[in-house]
Structure 1
Amino acid sequence: MSTPPSLQIEKLMAILMAEGIGLHPSELHGTIVGIISGGVEQTTEAWQPLLIELSNNNEPFPPSVQSQLNELYQDTLNRLDDFDFGFTLLLPEEEEPLNVRVDALFLWVNNFLSALAIAQPKLNDSSERIQQYIEVMSNIFSDGAEVGDDEDSESAFFELLDFVREAAMNCYSEFAPEVMVDDSTNCNTLH
């Protein structure tokens, strides 16, 4: 069973703070999703060096942080791979002020786009749909946004959130490597 995003963000934030690492969990999740969606091999730990390079200046994470990131990676991969799991972005809960959630989404998207660009060398040759997602996200999230505290701002946030979620899932669908199933173990020999 997977851990709900609200518990993941709290647990990861506590571990990062305890280790003196000044990263937000949304940054790390955006990077992980960008790496996965960019098509990095999933059956190995190929994602870890990229995460370390992009997020921690090539310094390995302490074991407590790496353990939590391993769990987050696997949970994220499962959620992207199986639409029934319900892929969600690791962001603060709805109870948090809108500006806090918008800032976290800004961090998530910027880290997602950076990781995707590095993980997927043929990004410029991707489908028109993927190019449009990337262009729109780059334009919307290139500058910080002024956020109101009204229903229209809240509604706009959820529209952006849905768009970003859809973009990430479509990038994953386009770039994720095919997982080869070993059929040699399924011998259907009739005697």
Structure 2
Amino acid sequence: MAEVHGACRAAGLGIAASELHGSLCGWLAGGGADGPGWLNRVLVDDSVPEPAAALEQLHLASVAQLEDRSFAFELLLPDADASLYDRSAALFEWCRGFLGGFGLAAGAAPPLSDEGREALADIARLAAASPQEGGDQEDEAALVEIEEFVRVAVLLLHGDCALGPRHRQRLN
């Protein structure tokens, strides 16, 4: 996470590592094109320089994890030793980034299943949330459950909008 954060700052992106990862994953889950120029498309900015090695590694790992049939996809969030406030703030930033990237790639009427529509609405609610100071073990457990929900929701949306259309093309 620190490498990605440093690469974002060095490139002057003005976006946190978690939000960038969310944007990238949203773009990919929405069926966005993978390949050179991905950072420009995800950030909707043609002036962004070529991604540093850490950002390119993030891109390649994200593509591989989303395509992995063993559901190895992970959100780029602070480690468990960070405060509950910081981790929840990063999760909400991740969700905001995801919505932006997903909307750019999938457009106004993505081919979503009923479950996919529900999952996207839930991610939108999380994106609108704000972290709260304090917290206890119950809040810690809830955050872990929410992170898992988001992880599975992203895989579902990727299946609806990226994998599904790709498989339909192969059948035709």
Q: Would you say same fold, with TM above 0.5? A: yes
Aligned-partner residue type, residue 111 of structure 1: G
The answer to whether the 8 Å contact 2:28/2:63 transfers is: yes
Matched residue, 2:47: 59
Q: Deviations over 1:128-167 (max 9, x none)?
A: 1111011122123313132432101101101110111011
Q: For residue 84 of structure 1, give the secondary structure of its aligned residue in structure 2.
A: coil
Which residue number corresponds to residue 90 of structure 1? 76
Q: Distance in 2 between matches of 1:41 and 1:93?
A: 30
Structure whose alpha-carbon radius of gyration is higher? 1
TM-score relative to the length of structure 2: 0.85
Q: 1:117 to 1:139 in 2, by over 3 A?
A: same
User: In 2, Cα distance between the equivalents of 1:80 and 1:144?
Assistant: 27
Once residues 149 and 22 of structure 2 are traced to their aligned partners in structure 1, the CA distance between those partners, rounded to angstroms, is: 14
Q: 1:83 to 1:111 in 2, by over 3 A?
A: same
Instruction: Report if the CA contact (8 A) 2:111-2:160 is conserved.
Output: no
| Aligned counterparts of 2:155 and 2:40: Cα–Cα separation in 1 | 23
Q: Structure 1's 119 and 84: CA in aligned 2 closer, same or farther, altered over 3 A?
A: same
User: 2:25 matched to which residue of 1?
Assistant: 33
Following the alignment from structure 2 to structure 1, what is the Cα–Cα distance between the partners of residues 162 and 58? Answer: 18
Q: Is the 8 A contact 1:35 1:47 kept in 2?
A: no
Task: Extract unaligned runs of 5+ from structure 2.
Answer: none
- In the alignment, does 2:85 pair up with 1:99? yes
Deviations 1:87-109 (A, max 9, x none): 10000000111111111101100
Aligned counterparts of 1:145 and 1:23: Cα–Cα separation in 2: 18
1:49 matched to 2:35: no
1:138 pairs with 2:129: no
Using the aligned pairs only, state the percent identity.
25
* Structure 1 counterpart of 2:55: 69
Specify every segment of 5 or more residues in structure 1 that has no aligned partner in the other structure, as ranges: 1-8, 182-191
Q: CA deviation at 1:68?
A: 2.7
Q: Is the 8 A contact 1:147 1:153 kept in 2?
A: no
